[in-house]
């Protein structure tokens, strides 16, 4: 089965072709980072317009890379939610328009399910069951994953997601957009222990997270030094911030593994590309004797490959899940626990 995936939930346009027999055939991605950098964050209207411009050229590119005609596609999967409403509508309309023109069945895919399953695209994929840390700009959740569609929420953020805290703290330090990679790079030049920042909910005895207080602590430090803050001070604050986030994420992951009794941990989402987080988790895995799996770096951020793959896995389980009803709706807010095995 050859599945075309279309991703447009926020500020990346991604298309991909996944074959259930031969794996990922081709994928192409366009990031809007340069466009949104001027505004310090994603502008939804601009994001939607750019998806319109990019979708069809990217489709032509993946078809060329895979050396297959559009008519060879068996089904089309698209991101139905969650995400920015306007951006989701672009991808859904492109996908459903193609489906109607080609008389191919359609399947709406949950964006977070795509992230959860993306490590399965790696050369050394994890086996079910596993604990998954989904950590991105909009989500920080710990899930038990027993199979495709079999997800149990273990804990989540009660306020800001880790990625939001990265971006907001980076802005406080005067760094560019996107803030996450910028503050992580700056942290490499910082000295540990110069500043002490809180580890929110580190000892909460549950698996929930909170990062808004950490962001406020960064604001307090910056304000006290605003008149004479130097570049080394900024690097030291960045180091303290990254250390605090990593400490909390690692501790909660270890607690989730202990609670579930599982020995496999999957990291998914954009923050999963963070070097400091990977190093800390790898060290913990070696010490505690569990395995940790990551998506390939190119699949950490939003991409069409994860949507094509998630759609293909769904269709293998439930061939009748795809429909030829080419009217569509999107779900900007769509809790993952509503998905289950439907």
Q: What is the pLDDT of residues 324-337, one digit of tens each?
A: 989 989 999 998 87
- Segment 78-99 shows an average pLDDT of 97
Position 161 pLDDT exceeds 60: yes
Q: Are strands 75-81 and 140-147 parallel, antiparallel or unpaired?
A: unpaired
Size (the chain), residues: 342
- Number of H helices and E strands in the chain, helices first, is 10, 10
Position 120 pLDDT exceeds 60: yes
pLDDT at 336: 85
- Segment 10-32 shows an average pLDDT of 98
Q: Rounded distance, CA 39 to CA 176, Å?
A: 10
pLDDT at 225: 75
Q: In what order do the strands lie in the sheet with 12-19?
A: 23-31, 12-19, 2-7, 75-81, 106-110
Average pLDDT over the chain reads: 94
Q: Rounded distance, CA 215 to CA 170, Å?
A: 9
Percent of the chain at pLDDT > 70 equals 99
- Asked if 215 contacts 196 with a C-beta cutoff of 8 angstroms, the reply is no
Structure tokens at 182: 């910028």
- What are the structural domains of the chain? 2-116+299-338 (3.30.420.40), 127-294 (3.30.420.40)
Nearest Cα to Cα of residue 247 among 189, 200, 300: 200
pLDDT at 227: 64
Say which range, 5-19, 93-107, 328-342, has the weakest mean pLDDT. 328-342
pLDDT at 47: 98
- Segment 127-137 shows an average pLDDT of 94
Q: Rounded distance, CA 125 to CA 148, Å?
A: 14
**341 pLDDT band (50/70/90 cuts)?**
low
Position 342 pLDDT exceeds 70: no
Contacts of 338 (CB under 8 A, 6+ apart): none
- Segment 83-88 shows an average pLDDT of 98
Position 224 pLDDT exceeds 90: no
Q: Rounded distance, CA 1 to CA 176, Å?
A: 42
pLDDT at 203: 93
| pTM reported for the whole predicted model | 0.94
Percent of the chain at pLDDT > 90 equals 88
pLDDT at 137: 79
Position 65 pLDDT exceeds 90: yes
| 28-60 pLDDT tens trace | 999 999 999 988 889 999 999 999 999 999 999
pLDDT at 152: 94
Q: Is 321 exposed, middle or buried (0-12, 13-18, 19+ CB in 10 A)?
A: middle
SS3 252: helix
pLDDT at 235: 96
| 175-199 pLDDT tens trace | 988 888 999 999 999 999 999 999 9
| 272-325 pLDDT tens trace | 999 999 999 999 999 999 999 999 999 999 999 999 999 999 999 999 889 998
Q: Rounded distance, CA 236 to CA 228, Å?
A: 14
Cis geometry, peptide bond prior to residue 178 (ω within 30 degrees of 0): yes
pLDDT at 282: 98
């Amino acid at each position: 089965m050859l599945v075309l995936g279309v991703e447009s939930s926020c500020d990346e346009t991604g298309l991909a072709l996944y074959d259930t027999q031969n794996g990922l055939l081709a994928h192409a991605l366009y990031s809007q980072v340069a466009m949104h950098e001027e505004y310090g964050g994603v502008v939804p209207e601009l994001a939607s317009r750019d998806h319109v411009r990019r979708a069809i050229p990217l489709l032509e590119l993946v078809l060329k890379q895979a050396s297959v005609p559009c008519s060879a596609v068996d089904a089309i999967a698209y991101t139905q939610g969650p995400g920015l409403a306007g951006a989701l509508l672009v991808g859904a309309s492109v996908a459903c328009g193609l489906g109607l023109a080609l008389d191919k069945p359609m399947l709406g895919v949950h964006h977070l399910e795509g992230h959860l399953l993306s490590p399965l695209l790696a050369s050394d994929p994890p086996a079910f069951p596993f604990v998954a840390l989904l950590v991105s700009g909009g989500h920080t959740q710990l899930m038990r994953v027993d199979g495709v569609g079999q997800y149990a929420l273990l804990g989540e953020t009660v306020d800001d997601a880790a990625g939001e805290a990265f971006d907001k703290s980076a802005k406080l330090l005067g760094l560019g957009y996107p803030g996450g990679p910028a503050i992580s790079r700056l942290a490499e030049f910082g000295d540990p222990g110069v500043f002490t920042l809180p580890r929110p909910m580190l000892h909460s005895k549950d698996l929930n997270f909170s990062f808004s207080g950490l962001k406020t602590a960064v604001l307090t430090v910056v304000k006290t030094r605003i008149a004479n803050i130097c570049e080394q001070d900024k690097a030291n604050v960045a180091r303290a911030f990254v250390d605090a986030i990593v400490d909390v994420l690692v501790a909660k992951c270890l607690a989730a593994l202990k609670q579930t009794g599982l020995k496999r941990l999957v990291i998914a989402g954009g923050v999963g590309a963070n070097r400091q987080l990977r190093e800390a988790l790898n060290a913990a895995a070696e010490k505690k004797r569990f395995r940790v799996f990551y998506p390939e770096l190119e699949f950490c951020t939003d991409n069409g490959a994860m949507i094509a793959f998630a759609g293909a896995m769904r269709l293998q389980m439930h061939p009748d899940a795809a429909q030829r009803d080419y009217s569509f709706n999107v779900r900007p807010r769509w809790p993952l626990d509503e998905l289950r095995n439907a």
